[in-house]
Amino acid sequence: MEDERQASCKCGGRQTKGENGVMKKPVRPGALSPGDTVGITAPASWGDRQRMEESARYLERLGLRVRMGETLVKRHGYLAGTDEERARELNGMFADPEIKAILCARGGYGTGRIADLLDYGLIRANPKVFWGYSDITFLHMAMLRYAELVTFHGPMLIDLEEEEPDPLTLQNYETLLNPSALRYTEEISPLHTLVEGEAAGQLVGGNLSLLVSTLGTPYEVGTKGRLLFIEEIDEEPYRVDRMLNQLRLAGKFSDAEGILICDFNNCEPNKRKQSLTLEQVFGDYIVPAGKPAMAGFKIGHCSPNIAVPIGIEARMSTSDKVLECIEPGVRG
């Protein structure tokens, strides 16, 4: 398997030019049209196929066709099939001309295991919407660096299993058919300033623990000249502290132009009852970096879960309390 991994990574990947993986202009995938086919895959953990099919009916109501991948019925411990099976399906969906977008069924664990089995040359030659969050963060970083592709940190089919998904969560998918640039203001949620200022750059980020897991690998998150956003779930403050410290020591905060603190769902003291608060932890790491920073974005393991195009140029302003992209994540 090691030989197959090395061959795949060597043939499929090409490091983009620029310090720390920063690219001048990633490629935006095309917008969807009614009748287009969306592929559903599980590149990490497995889910309940029947429930996923029920969730996919929302996509069908938008006029899209849905093709379920075989990984949704595979089981390999906590993984939706072997590494080779999951990577083969994802590569195949990018190669299939009938599939116009690829949505991840769920996160869980496992995408870092297949990053070196993906054909980034193939992905770069067939730019498509790639959509997911949580464990999918690892693939977002890999595709931005090696395939030069704008991807989407957004709600997955597992998020549509709720009885009443938030209208803003559902609205995310509509922007794939009717492109519009993201503009996040306090009309969505209250925003809190940690460090005043304005900043601009490519949006990059995702789940904190996954971003940390890229450090020291060929897929390391690059923050130089970028706006970094982070989110997390079910991690106690001392663990968040440890991960933020690792990003600090790796220079990720000092390199960034601005920092966006998104949803930290259920990140409360449990094992260690005597604890710093999350606000204190952010104050210890984000504030000293001196970069414009805001908190309160409903991005991540939350409802609503606002989709973010990774790789798109954006600006943030703490005085205007706004995050806005200069263009849609898809081409109209």
Give the catalytic positions in this structure.
Answer: 134, 231, 301
In angstroms, the CA 80 to CA 324 distance is: 36
* Radius of gyration over every alpha carbon of the chain, rounded to an integer in angstroms: 19
- Is omega for the bond preceding 304 within 30 degrees of 0, making it cis? yes
Two tokens at 163? 């009885």
Encoded tokens for 73: 């019925």
Tokens 């089995």 belong to residue: 117
Contacts of 238 (CB under 8 A, 6+ apart): 272, 275, 276
Long-range interactions of 1-7: CB distance < 8 A, separation 24+: 1/83, 1/84, 4/84, 4/117, 5/116, 5/117, 6/116
The per-residue DSSP string of 272-325 comes to -SS---HHHHHHHHHHHHTS-EEE----SSSSS---EEET-EEEEETTTTEEEE
Determine phi and psi for 231, rounding to 5 degrees.
Answer: -145, 165
